Protein backbone atom coordinates (compact mmCIF):
# COMPACT_ATOMS: atom_id res chain seq x y z
CA UNK A 1 0.00 0.00 0.00
CA UNK A 2 1.41 3.43 -0.95
CA UNK A 3 1.21 5.93 1.85
CA UNK A 4 1.56 9.62 1.02
CA UNK A 5 4.61 11.14 2.66
CA UNK A 6 3.59 14.32 4.53
CA UNK A 7 4.97 17.58 3.20
CA UNK A 8 7.21 19.83 5.28
CA UNK A 9 10.36 19.27 7.33
CA UNK A 10 10.65 15.76 8.64
CA UNK A 11 11.89 14.66 12.05
CA UNK A 12 14.97 13.28 10.23
CA UNK A 13 15.80 16.77 8.95
CA UNK A 14 15.25 18.23 12.41
CA UNK A 15 17.41 15.50 13.95
CA UNK A 16 20.33 16.31 11.67
CA UNK A 17 19.96 20.03 12.35
CA UNK A 18 19.86 19.26 16.08
CA UNK A 19 23.19 17.43 15.80
CA UNK A 20 24.80 20.44 14.15
CA UNK A 21 23.24 22.85 16.65
CA UNK A 22 24.61 20.73 19.51
CA UNK A 23 28.17 21.01 18.24
CA UNK A 24 28.41 17.79 16.22
CA UNK A 25 29.92 18.46 12.81
CA UNK A 26 30.69 14.88 11.70
CA UNK A 27 28.56 11.74 11.51
CA UNK A 28 30.34 8.50 10.62
CA UNK A 29 27.55 6.44 9.11
CA UNK A 30 26.86 2.87 8.03
CA UNK A 31 23.44 2.72 6.44
CA UNK A 32 20.51 0.33 6.21
CA UNK A 33 16.83 0.27 5.30
CA UNK A 34 16.09 2.41 8.36
CA UNK A 35 18.11 5.26 6.81
CA UNK A 36 15.53 6.15 4.15
CA UNK A 37 14.30 9.32 5.97
CA UNK A 38 17.91 10.31 6.74
CA UNK A 39 19.01 9.98 3.11
CA UNK A 40 15.99 11.87 1.81
CA UNK A 41 16.52 14.45 4.55
CA UNK A 42 20.16 15.01 3.52
CA UNK A 43 19.09 15.67 -0.07
CA UNK A 44 16.26 17.97 1.07
CA UNK A 45 18.61 19.90 3.36
CA UNK A 46 21.15 20.32 0.56
CA UNK A 47 18.42 21.59 -1.76
CA UNK A 48 16.91 23.99 0.77
CA UNK A 49 20.17 25.07 2.38
CA UNK A 50 19.32 23.39 5.66
CA UNK A 51 21.63 22.89 8.63
CA UNK A 52 23.50 19.63 8.24
CA UNK A 53 26.58 17.92 9.70
CA UNK A 54 29.00 16.18 7.35
CA UNK A 55 28.07 12.53 6.78
CA UNK A 56 30.97 10.16 6.10
CA UNK A 57 30.12 6.77 4.61
CA UNK A 58 31.96 4.01 6.50
CA UNK A 59 31.43 0.41 5.29
CA UNK A 60 31.89 -1.18 8.73
CA UNK A 61 30.58 -0.06 12.10
CA UNK A 62 33.77 -0.93 14.00
CA UNK A 63 35.68 1.50 11.79
CA UNK A 64 32.98 4.16 12.22
CA UNK A 65 33.20 4.16 16.03
CA UNK A 66 36.99 4.01 15.89
CA UNK A 67 36.97 7.06 13.61
CA UNK A 68 34.79 8.96 16.09
CA UNK A 69 37.25 7.97 18.83
CA UNK A 70 40.34 9.15 16.96
CA UNK A 71 38.55 12.33 15.91
CA UNK A 72 37.75 13.21 19.53
CA UNK A 73 41.18 12.34 20.89
CA UNK A 74 42.84 14.75 18.47
CA UNK A 75 40.24 17.54 18.21
CA UNK A 76 38.53 17.38 21.60
CA UNK A 77 35.21 17.58 19.74
CA UNK A 78 32.48 14.97 19.94
CA UNK A 79 31.30 13.13 16.83
CA UNK A 80 28.23 11.03 16.08
CA UNK A 81 27.96 7.57 14.61
CA UNK A 82 24.82 6.20 12.97
CA UNK A 83 24.35 2.50 12.28
CA UNK A 84 21.71 0.05 11.07
CA UNK A 85 19.26 -1.19 13.73
CA UNK A 86 20.30 -4.10 16.00
CA UNK A 87 22.80 -5.68 13.63
CA UNK A 88 24.74 -2.46 13.13
CA UNK A 89 24.67 -1.88 16.88
CA UNK A 90 26.11 -5.35 17.46
CA UNK A 91 28.99 -4.58 15.10
CA UNK A 92 29.93 -1.51 17.17
CA UNK A 93 30.26 -3.26 20.51
CA UNK A 94 34.05 -3.78 20.70
CA UNK A 95 34.77 -0.22 19.63
CA UNK A 96 32.15 1.11 22.07
CA UNK A 97 33.82 -0.84 24.88
CA UNK A 98 37.09 0.89 24.04
CA UNK A 99 35.45 4.33 23.86
CA UNK A 100 33.90 3.77 27.29
CA UNK A 101 37.18 2.80 28.94
CA UNK A 102 38.96 5.69 27.19
CA UNK A 103 36.24 8.17 28.31
CA UNK A 104 35.46 9.16 24.73
CA UNK A 105 32.08 10.88 24.19
CA UNK A 106 30.19 9.64 21.13
CA UNK A 107 26.54 9.92 20.17
CA UNK A 108 25.88 6.43 18.83
CA UNK A 109 22.55 6.44 17.03
CA UNK A 110 20.91 3.42 15.49
CA UNK A 111 17.83 3.07 13.39
CA UNK A 112 14.99 1.02 14.80
CA UNK A 113 13.27 -1.50 12.57
CA UNK A 114 9.82 -0.12 11.61
CA UNK A 115 7.33 -0.45 14.45
CA UNK A 116 4.27 -0.90 12.23
CA UNK A 117 3.32 -3.49 9.62
CA UNK A 118 0.99 -1.20 7.62
CA UNK A 119 -0.40 2.31 7.59
CA UNK A 120 2.73 4.44 7.19
CA UNK A 121 5.18 5.23 4.40
CA UNK A 122 7.88 3.84 6.68
CA UNK A 123 6.05 0.64 7.67
CA UNK A 124 7.73 -2.71 7.23
CA UNK A 125 8.24 -3.60 3.58
CA UNK A 126 10.90 -6.35 3.55
CA UNK A 127 11.10 -9.61 5.58
CA UNK A 128 14.18 -8.53 7.54
CA UNK A 129 12.11 -5.88 9.29
CA UNK A 130 10.57 -8.65 11.39
CA UNK A 131 13.86 -10.48 11.95
CA UNK A 132 15.72 -7.33 13.00
CA UNK A 133 13.46 -6.37 15.90
CA UNK A 134 14.68 -6.81 19.48
CA UNK A 135 12.58 -6.70 22.62
CA UNK A 136 15.24 -4.33 23.98
CA UNK A 137 17.68 -3.16 21.30
CA UNK A 138 19.59 -0.87 23.65
CA UNK A 139 20.42 -3.85 25.88
CA UNK A 140 23.12 -4.73 23.34
CA UNK A 141 25.22 -1.77 24.49
CA UNK A 142 23.60 -0.68 27.76
CA UNK A 143 26.48 -1.79 30.00
CA UNK A 144 28.91 0.28 27.94
CA UNK A 145 27.03 3.57 27.48
CA UNK A 146 26.14 6.32 29.94
CA UNK A 147 22.55 6.78 28.72
CA UNK A 148 20.17 5.25 26.22
CA UNK A 149 16.82 6.33 24.88
CA UNK A 150 14.43 5.96 21.96
CA UNK A 151 13.07 8.99 20.11
CA UNK A 152 9.28 8.90 20.23
CA UNK A 153 6.56 10.49 18.18
CA UNK A 154 5.97 14.15 19.03
CA UNK A 155 9.04 14.60 21.21
CA UNK A 156 11.23 17.71 20.74
CA UNK A 157 14.29 16.38 18.93
CA UNK A 158 16.47 19.38 19.86
CA UNK A 159 15.91 18.60 23.54
CA UNK A 160 16.64 14.88 23.12
CA UNK A 161 19.86 15.44 21.15
CA UNK A 162 21.10 18.21 23.46
CA UNK A 163 20.48 15.96 26.48
CA UNK A 164 22.40 13.10 24.86
CA UNK A 165 25.36 15.36 24.07
CA UNK A 166 25.37 16.93 27.53
CA UNK A 167 25.45 13.53 29.23
CA UNK A 168 28.20 12.25 26.91
CA UNK A 169 30.36 15.33 27.52
CA UNK A 170 29.93 15.32 31.30
CA UNK A 171 32.82 13.81 33.30
CA UNK A 172 33.62 11.00 33.20
CA UNK A 173 32.86 11.33 29.50
CA UNK A 174 31.65 8.44 27.40
CA UNK A 175 29.31 7.22 24.66
CA UNK A 176 25.51 7.47 24.71
CA UNK A 177 22.97 5.57 22.59
CA UNK A 178 19.83 6.76 20.82
CA UNK A 179 17.46 4.65 18.72
CA UNK A 180 15.47 6.22 15.89
CA UNK A 181 12.38 4.38 14.55
CA UNK A 182 11.90 4.78 10.81
CA UNK A 183 8.30 5.98 11.01
CA UNK A 184 9.20 8.63 13.59
CA UNK A 185 12.07 9.93 11.43
CA UNK A 186 9.80 10.08 8.40
CA UNK A 187 6.99 12.02 10.06
CA UNK A 188 6.53 15.76 9.86
CA UNK A 189 8.19 17.50 12.78
CA UNK A 190 5.55 19.17 14.93
CA UNK A 191 8.06 21.06 17.05
CA UNK A 192 11.77 20.46 17.48
CA UNK A 193 11.96 22.34 20.78
CA UNK A 194 14.31 25.17 21.81
CA UNK A 195 17.88 25.28 20.54
CA UNK A 196 20.68 24.75 23.07
CA UNK A 197 21.89 27.93 24.70
CA UNK A 198 25.36 29.20 23.90
CA UNK A 199 27.35 27.33 26.54
CA UNK A 200 29.97 24.62 26.79
CA UNK A 201 28.65 21.12 26.22
CA UNK A 202 28.18 18.92 29.25
CA UNK A 203 28.75 20.07 32.82
CA UNK A 204 31.64 22.33 33.74
CA UNK A 205 34.22 20.00 35.33
CA UNK A 206 34.10 19.75 39.09
CA UNK A 207 36.91 21.57 40.89
CA UNK A 208 38.72 19.29 43.35
CA UNK A 209 38.27 19.99 47.04
CA UNK A 210 40.78 22.61 48.23
CA UNK A 211 40.87 20.87 51.62
CA UNK A 212 41.75 17.54 50.01
CA UNK A 213 44.43 19.13 47.83
CA UNK A 214 45.95 20.82 50.90
CA UNK A 215 46.26 17.39 52.50
CA UNK A 216 47.90 16.06 49.34
CA UNK A 217 50.26 19.03 49.16
CA UNK A 218 51.32 18.45 52.77
CA UNK A 219 52.10 14.79 52.00
CA UNK A 220 54.13 15.71 48.92
CA UNK A 221 56.00 18.53 50.65
CA UNK A 222 57.03 16.17 53.45
CA UNK A 223 58.17 13.45 51.03
CA UNK A 224 61.74 12.73 49.99
CA UNK A 225 60.80 10.87 46.82
CA UNK A 226 57.29 11.68 45.51
CA UNK A 227 56.27 9.98 42.26
CA UNK A 228 53.37 10.61 39.89
CA UNK A 229 51.90 7.60 38.10
CA UNK A 230 49.72 8.28 35.07
CA UNK A 231 48.59 5.62 32.62
CA UNK A 232 45.83 7.38 30.66
CA UNK A 233 46.12 9.69 27.68
CA UNK A 234 46.18 13.27 28.98
CA UNK A 235 44.08 16.02 27.47
CA UNK A 236 46.05 19.10 26.38
CA UNK A 237 45.63 21.15 29.57
CA UNK A 238 46.45 18.14 31.77
CA UNK A 239 49.48 17.33 29.58
CA UNK A 240 50.79 20.86 30.14
CA UNK A 241 49.93 20.99 33.84
CA UNK A 242 51.61 17.64 34.52
CA UNK A 243 54.79 18.73 32.78
CA UNK A 244 54.82 21.96 34.77
CA UNK A 245 54.31 20.54 38.25
CA UNK A 246 56.83 17.76 37.62
CA UNK A 247 59.54 20.21 36.55
CA UNK A 248 58.76 22.90 39.12
CA UNK A 249 59.09 20.57 42.09
CA UNK A 250 61.28 17.72 40.78
CA UNK A 251 58.58 15.06 40.96
CA UNK A 252 59.33 12.05 38.79
CA UNK A 253 56.60 10.78 36.47
CA UNK A 254 56.02 7.15 35.51
CA UNK A 255 53.70 6.51 32.58
CA UNK A 256 51.77 3.72 30.94
CA UNK A 257 51.61 3.22 27.18
CA UNK A 258 49.71 6.49 26.68
CA UNK A 259 50.77 10.05 25.86
CA UNK A 260 50.59 11.97 29.13
CA UNK A 261 53.97 13.74 29.29
CA UNK A 262 56.47 15.03 26.74
CA UNK A 263 59.23 12.53 25.98
CA UNK A 264 61.86 15.22 26.57
CA UNK A 265 60.55 16.29 29.98
CA UNK A 266 63.46 15.80 32.43
CA UNK A 267 61.09 14.27 34.99
CA UNK A 268 59.88 11.61 32.53
CA UNK A 269 61.39 8.42 33.94
CA UNK A 270 59.67 5.96 31.65
CA UNK A 271 57.14 3.24 32.23
CA UNK A 272 55.76 2.21 35.60
CA UNK A 273 58.24 -0.17 37.22
CA UNK A 274 58.75 -1.94 40.52
CA UNK A 275 62.04 -0.36 41.67
CA UNK A 276 60.72 3.19 41.20
CA UNK A 277 57.50 2.42 43.09
CA UNK A 278 59.43 0.69 45.86
CA UNK A 279 61.65 3.76 46.28
CA UNK A 280 58.73 6.21 46.47
CA UNK A 281 57.37 7.47 49.77
CA UNK A 282 54.39 9.30 48.20
CA UNK A 283 52.68 8.07 45.02
CA UNK A 284 50.19 10.32 43.24
CA UNK A 285 48.02 8.14 40.99
CA UNK A 286 46.68 10.51 38.34
CA UNK A 287 43.63 9.46 36.31
CA UNK A 288 44.83 5.85 36.17
CA UNK A 289 42.32 3.00 36.34
CA UNK A 290 45.20 0.48 36.47
CA UNK A 291 48.29 2.29 37.80
CA UNK A 292 50.24 -0.98 38.06
CA UNK A 293 49.56 -4.71 37.82
CA UNK A 294 49.68 -6.00 41.42
CA UNK A 295 50.71 -9.49 40.35
CA UNK A 296 53.88 -8.07 38.81
CA UNK A 297 54.54 -4.80 40.67
CA UNK A 298 53.90 -3.64 44.22
CA UNK A 299 54.56 -0.12 45.57
CA UNK A 300 56.40 0.60 48.80
CA UNK A 301 53.94 -0.60 51.48
CA UNK A 302 54.78 2.45 53.59
CA UNK A 303 54.17 4.95 50.78
CA UNK A 304 51.25 7.33 51.00
CA UNK A 305 48.86 6.73 48.09
CA UNK A 306 46.95 9.70 46.63
CA UNK A 307 44.46 9.00 43.82
CA UNK A 308 43.17 11.90 41.69
CA UNK A 309 40.52 11.47 38.95
CA UNK A 310 37.02 12.59 38.10
CA UNK A 311 36.00 9.23 39.57
CA UNK A 312 39.01 7.98 41.58
CA UNK A 313 37.22 4.70 42.36
CA UNK A 314 36.50 4.03 38.66
CA UNK A 315 33.06 2.79 39.63
CA UNK A 316 32.30 1.37 36.17
CA UNK A 317 34.96 -1.31 36.76
CA UNK A 318 33.28 -4.29 38.46
CA UNK A 319 36.41 -5.24 40.47
CA UNK A 320 39.31 -2.97 41.35
CA UNK A 321 41.27 -3.18 44.59
CA UNK A 322 43.97 -0.48 44.59
CA UNK A 323 44.52 0.99 48.05
CA UNK A 324 44.28 4.70 48.80
CA UNK A 325 45.20 7.01 51.64
CA UNK A 326 43.50 9.95 49.95
CA UNK A 327 40.98 9.90 47.10
CA UNK A 328 40.39 13.24 45.39
CA UNK A 329 37.52 13.68 42.95
CA UNK A 330 37.84 16.38 40.31
CA UNK A 331 39.21 17.30 36.93
CA UNK A 332 42.87 16.14 36.86
CA UNK A 333 44.25 19.17 35.03
CA UNK A 334 42.62 21.59 37.44
CA UNK A 335 43.87 19.50 40.37
CA UNK A 336 47.47 19.71 39.13
CA UNK A 337 47.31 23.48 38.63
CA UNK A 338 45.94 24.03 42.15
CA UNK A 339 48.37 21.54 43.66
CA UNK A 340 51.30 23.23 41.95
CA UNK A 341 50.43 26.60 43.48
CA UNK A 342 50.09 25.05 46.92
CA UNK A 343 53.47 23.34 46.61
CA UNK A 344 55.16 26.61 45.66
CA UNK A 345 54.24 27.85 49.12
CA UNK A 346 54.80 24.65 51.08
CA UNK A 347 58.21 23.91 49.53
CA UNK A 348 59.66 27.37 50.29
CA UNK A 349 62.81 26.83 52.30
CA UNK A 350 63.16 23.27 51.01
CA UNK A 351 64.91 24.10 47.76
CA UNK A 352 68.03 22.13 48.69
CA UNK A 353 65.97 18.94 49.02
CA UNK A 354 64.21 19.63 45.72
CA UNK A 355 67.54 20.29 43.97
CA UNK A 356 69.00 17.08 45.39
CA UNK A 357 66.01 15.15 44.07
CA UNK A 358 66.30 16.85 40.69
CA UNK A 359 69.96 15.85 40.40
CA UNK A 360 69.13 12.26 41.37
CA UNK A 361 66.40 12.03 38.73
CA UNK A 362 68.70 13.55 36.12
CA UNK A 363 71.13 10.69 36.73
CA UNK A 364 68.33 8.15 36.50
CA UNK A 365 67.03 9.68 33.29
CA UNK A 366 70.49 9.75 31.71
CA UNK A 367 70.91 6.06 32.53
CA UNK A 368 67.47 5.31 31.09
CA UNK A 369 68.25 7.13 27.83
CA UNK A 370 71.56 5.31 27.54
CA UNK A 371 69.81 2.00 28.17
CA UNK A 372 67.35 2.74 25.36
CA UNK A 373 70.15 3.69 22.98
CA UNK A 374 71.89 0.39 23.67
CA UNK A 375 68.64 -1.51 23.15
CA UNK A 376 68.15 0.14 19.76
CA UNK A 377 71.75 -0.46 18.75
CA UNK A 378 71.52 -4.11 19.78
CA UNK A 379 68.66 -4.75 17.34
CA UNK A 380 69.71 -2.39 14.55
CA UNK A 381 70.71 -5.27 12.27
CA UNK A 382 68.23 -7.81 13.60
CA UNK A 383 66.18 -9.61 10.97
CA UNK A 384 63.25 -10.05 11.35
CA UNK A 385 62.93 -6.44 12.47
CA UNK A 386 62.64 -5.60 16.19
CA UNK A 387 60.15 -3.13 17.66
CA UNK A 388 62.65 -0.68 19.24
CA UNK A 389 64.28 -0.31 15.82
CA UNK A 390 60.90 0.53 14.29
CA UNK A 391 60.35 3.32 16.84
CA UNK A 392 63.89 4.60 16.25
CA UNK A 393 63.33 4.72 12.48
CA UNK A 394 60.02 6.52 12.92
CA UNK A 395 61.76 9.16 15.03
CA UNK A 396 64.17 9.78 12.15
CA UNK A 397 61.52 10.37 9.47
CA UNK A 398 58.27 11.53 11.05
CA UNK A 399 57.22 15.16 11.47
CA UNK A 400 57.59 16.56 14.98
CA UNK A 401 53.82 16.96 15.25
CA UNK A 402 53.00 13.60 13.66
CA UNK A 403 50.24 11.49 15.23
CA UNK A 404 51.17 7.88 15.98
CA UNK A 405 48.26 5.46 16.40
CA UNK A 406 49.55 2.29 18.03
CA UNK A 407 48.19 -1.22 18.34
CA UNK A 408 51.60 -2.92 18.30
CA UNK A 409 55.02 -2.17 16.94
CA UNK A 410 56.01 1.34 18.04
CA UNK A 411 56.88 1.08 21.75
CA UNK A 412 55.88 4.33 23.42
CA UNK A 413 59.07 4.69 25.53
CA UNK A 414 61.22 4.64 22.39
CA UNK A 415 59.18 7.24 20.50
CA UNK A 416 59.72 11.00 20.61
CA UNK A 417 56.30 12.46 21.45
CA UNK A 418 56.23 16.11 22.46
CA UNK A 419 52.61 17.17 21.95
CA UNK A 420 49.33 16.06 23.52
CA UNK A 421 47.39 13.88 21.15
CA UNK A 422 50.59 12.80 19.43
CA UNK A 423 50.21 9.17 20.46
CA UNK A 424 46.88 7.32 20.45
CA UNK A 425 46.41 3.92 21.97
CA UNK A 426 43.49 2.30 23.76
CA UNK A 427 42.82 1.18 27.32
CA UNK A 428 40.33 -1.63 26.81
CA UNK A 429 42.06 -4.22 24.69
CA UNK A 430 39.40 -4.82 22.05
CA UNK A 431 41.64 -4.94 19.00
CA UNK A 432 40.86 -3.37 15.64
CA UNK A 433 40.84 0.33 16.58
CA UNK A 434 44.09 1.44 14.97
CA UNK A 435 43.00 1.88 11.36
CA UNK A 436 39.79 3.72 12.24
CA UNK A 437 41.41 5.93 14.88
CA UNK A 438 44.04 6.96 12.34
CA UNK A 439 41.33 7.99 9.87
CA UNK A 440 39.45 9.92 12.56
CA UNK A 441 42.67 11.64 13.60
CA UNK A 442 43.23 12.66 9.97
CA UNK A 443 39.71 14.11 9.77
CA UNK A 444 40.47 16.13 12.91
CA UNK A 445 43.94 17.25 11.78
CA UNK A 446 44.25 16.97 7.99
CA UNK A 447 47.50 18.96 8.01
CA UNK A 448 49.34 16.49 10.28
CA UNK A 449 51.06 13.21 9.41
CA UNK A 450 49.11 10.24 10.74
CA UNK A 451 50.89 6.90 11.09
CA UNK A 452 49.27 3.76 12.47
CA UNK A 453 51.27 0.75 13.66
CA UNK A 454 49.17 -2.39 14.02
CA UNK A 455 49.85 -6.09 14.40
CA UNK A 456 48.78 -8.39 11.59
CA UNK A 457 45.99 -9.68 13.83
CA UNK A 458 44.91 -6.14 14.74
CA UNK A 459 44.96 -5.23 11.05
CA UNK A 460 42.46 -7.98 10.25
CA UNK A 461 40.30 -7.01 13.24
CA UNK A 462 40.33 -3.43 11.95
CA UNK A 463 38.24 -4.29 8.86
CA UNK A 464 40.98 -3.13 6.47
CA UNK A 465 38.89 -3.11 3.29
CA UNK A 466 36.39 -0.78 4.96
CA UNK A 467 39.16 1.42 6.36
CA UNK A 468 41.06 1.67 3.08
CA UNK A 469 37.80 2.45 1.27
CA UNK A 470 37.26 5.44 3.57
CA UNK A 471 40.87 6.51 3.11
CA UNK A 472 40.34 6.57 -0.64
CA UNK A 473 36.78 7.93 -0.80
CA UNK A 474 37.32 10.71 1.76
CA UNK A 475 40.87 11.53 0.64
CA UNK A 476 42.41 10.77 4.03
CA UNK A 477 45.98 9.67 3.29
CA UNK A 478 47.61 7.90 6.22
CA UNK A 479 50.49 5.46 6.58
CA UNK A 480 49.66 2.02 7.97
CA UNK A 481 52.50 -0.17 9.22
CA UNK A 482 51.43 -3.80 9.60
CA UNK A 483 53.73 -5.50 12.12
CA UNK A 484 53.66 -8.95 10.58
CA UNK A 485 54.80 -11.60 13.05
CA UNK A 486 52.37 -14.24 11.72
CA UNK A 487 50.75 -14.79 15.09
CA UNK A 488 48.55 -13.44 17.87
CA UNK A 489 51.50 -12.16 19.89
CA UNK A 490 49.38 -11.24 22.93
CA UNK A 491 48.01 -14.79 23.10
CA UNK A 492 51.53 -16.27 22.94
CA UNK A 493 52.74 -13.90 25.64
CA UNK A 494 49.80 -14.72 27.93
CA UNK A 495 50.38 -18.45 27.52
CA UNK A 496 54.12 -18.36 28.14
CA UNK A 497 53.66 -16.01 31.12
CA UNK A 498 51.20 -18.41 32.75
CA UNK A 499 53.29 -21.48 31.91
CA UNK A 500 56.92 -20.29 31.85
CA UNK A 501 58.20 -23.88 32.07
CA UNK A 502 55.47 -25.36 29.90
CA UNK A 503 55.59 -26.75 26.40
CA UNK A 504 54.36 -23.47 24.95
CA UNK A 505 57.50 -21.67 26.12
CA UNK A 506 59.66 -24.10 24.12
CA UNK A 507 57.53 -24.34 20.99
CA UNK A 508 57.98 -22.25 17.85
CA UNK A 509 54.41 -22.85 16.70
CA UNK A 510 51.36 -22.71 18.97
CA UNK A 511 47.74 -23.75 18.35
CA UNK A 512 45.21 -20.91 18.14
CA UNK A 513 48.13 -18.47 17.95
CA UNK A 514 49.79 -18.81 14.54
CA UNK A 515 48.53 -16.72 11.62
CA UNK A 516 50.14 -18.63 8.81
CA UNK A 517 50.23 -18.55 5.89
CA UNK A 518 50.77 -14.81 6.07
CA UNK A 519 49.03 -12.51 3.58
CA UNK A 520 50.57 -9.84 1.37
CA UNK A 521 48.90 -7.10 3.39
CA UNK A 522 50.47 -4.32 1.35
CA UNK A 523 48.43 -5.40 -1.66
CA UNK A 524 45.12 -4.70 0.06
CA UNK A 525 45.90 -0.99 0.05
CA UNK A 526 46.81 -1.18 -3.64
CA UNK A 527 43.26 -2.35 -4.39
CA UNK A 528 42.08 1.04 -3.08
CA UNK A 529 44.48 3.17 -5.07
CA UNK A 530 47.16 3.14 -2.38
CA UNK A 531 50.86 2.41 -2.26
CA UNK A 532 52.14 -0.80 -0.67
CA UNK A 533 55.54 -2.36 0.03
CA UNK A 534 57.03 -5.20 2.04
CA UNK A 535 60.03 -4.60 4.34
CA UNK A 536 62.05 -7.37 5.98
CA UNK A 537 65.52 -5.79 6.11
CA UNK A 538 66.17 -3.34 9.00
CA UNK A 539 68.60 -1.39 6.80
CA UNK A 540 65.81 -0.71 4.32
CA UNK A 541 63.18 0.45 6.82
CA UNK A 542 64.08 4.15 6.81
CA UNK A 543 64.14 4.38 2.97
CA UNK A 544 60.82 2.49 2.88
CA UNK A 545 59.29 4.88 5.42
CA UNK A 546 60.55 7.92 3.53
CA UNK A 547 59.03 6.68 0.26
CA UNK A 548 55.73 5.78 1.92
CA UNK A 549 55.46 9.14 3.69
CA UNK A 550 56.25 10.90 0.41
CA UNK A 551 53.28 9.07 -1.14
CA UNK A 552 51.12 10.16 1.80
CA UNK A 553 52.26 13.77 1.36
CA UNK A 554 51.09 13.53 -2.25
CA UNK A 555 47.63 12.42 -1.10
CA UNK A 556 47.96 8.65 -1.48
CA UNK A 557 47.39 6.23 1.41
CA UNK A 558 50.21 3.77 2.01
CA UNK A 559 50.81 0.46 3.78
CA UNK A 560 54.10 -1.16 4.76
CA UNK A 561 54.06 -4.88 5.50
CA UNK A 562 56.89 -5.02 8.06
CA UNK A 563 58.20 -8.49 8.89
CA UNK A 564 58.94 -8.45 12.61
CA UNK A 565 60.16 -10.85 15.27
CA UNK A 566 57.82 -13.64 16.31
CA UNK A 567 59.00 -13.16 19.91
CA UNK A 568 59.64 -9.90 21.77
**1 found inside a domain:** no
State the Cα–Cα distance between residues 201 and 204, nearest whole angstrom. 8
Same domain, 530 and 391: yes
Does residue 297 sit within a domain?
yes
Domain's final residue, options 335, 365, 395: 365
Q: Do 488 and 455 fall into the same domain?
A: yes
Q: Does 318 share its domain with 436?
A: no
Give the tens place of pLDDT for each residue, 117-173.
Answer: 999 999 999 999 999 999 999 999 999 999 999 999 999 999 999 999 999 999 999
Domain boundary among 311, 340, 365: 365
pLDDT per position as a tens digit, 40-95 = 999 999 998 888 999 999 999 999 999 999 999 999 999 999 999 999 999 999 99
Query: Are 360 and 430 in the same domain?
Result: no
Task: Count structural domains, the chain.
Answer: 3
CATH code, domain carrying 302: 3.40.50.1220
Indicate whether 527 belongs to any domain.
Answer: yes
> Has this prediction a pTM greater than 0.85?
yes
Residues 145 and 220 reside in one and the same domain: no
User: Which range of residues forms the domain containing residue 111?
Assistant: 11-186
* Residues with Cβ within 8 Å of residue 200, at least 6 apart in sequence: none
Question: Residue 200 falls within a domain, yes or no?
Answer: no
Residues whose CB falls within 8 Å of the CB of residue 498, separated by 6 or more in sequence, listed in order: none
Are 65 and 173 in a shared domain?
Answer: yes
Residue 568 lies in a domain: no
35 & 159 share domain: yes
Is residue 412's pLDDT more than 70? yes
Of 195, 263, 193, 139, nearest in space to 23 by CA: 195
**439 in Cβ contact with 424 (< 8 Å):** no
Single out the residue in 323, 338, 365 at which a domain terminates: 365
- pLDDT for 301-345, tens place per residue? 999 999 999 999 999 999 999 999 999 999 999 999 999 999 999
Average per-residue pLDDT for the chain:
94
**Together in a domain, 435 and 338:** no
pLDDT at residue 3 tops 70: no
Q: Within 10 Å of residue 529's Cβ, how many Cβ atoms?
A: 12
pLDDT, tens digit, 9 for 90 and up, residues 334-383 = 999 999 999 999 999 899 999 999 999 999 999 999 999 999 999 999 99
What is the distance between the alpha carbons of residues 64 and 30, in angstroms, rounded to a whole number? 8
Which CATH number does the domain housing residue 474 bear?
3.40.50.970
Q: Over pLDDT 90: what percentage of the chain? A: 85
The answer to the question of residue 85 being in a domain is yes
Please write the tens of the pLDDT for every residue from 238-285.
999 999 999 999 999 999 888 899 999 999 999 999 999 999 999 999
Amino acid sequence: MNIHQPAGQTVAESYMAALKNSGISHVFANGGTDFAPIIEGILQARTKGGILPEFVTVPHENVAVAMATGYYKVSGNMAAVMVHVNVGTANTICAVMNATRDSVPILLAAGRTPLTETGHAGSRDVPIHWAQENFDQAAIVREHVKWDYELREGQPVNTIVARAVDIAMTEPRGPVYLTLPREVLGNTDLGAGPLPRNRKLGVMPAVPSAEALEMAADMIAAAENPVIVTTSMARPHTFAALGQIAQDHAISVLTGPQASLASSNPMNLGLVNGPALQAADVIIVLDSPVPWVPRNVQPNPNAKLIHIATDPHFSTFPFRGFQMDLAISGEPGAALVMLNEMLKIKLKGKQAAVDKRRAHFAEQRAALIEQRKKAVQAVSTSSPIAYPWIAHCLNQVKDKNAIIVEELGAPYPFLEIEQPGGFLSTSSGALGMGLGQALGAKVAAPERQVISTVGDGSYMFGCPTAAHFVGQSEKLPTLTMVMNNSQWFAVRRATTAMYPDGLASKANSLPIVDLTPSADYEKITEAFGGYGARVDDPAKLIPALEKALDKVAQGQQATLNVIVRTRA
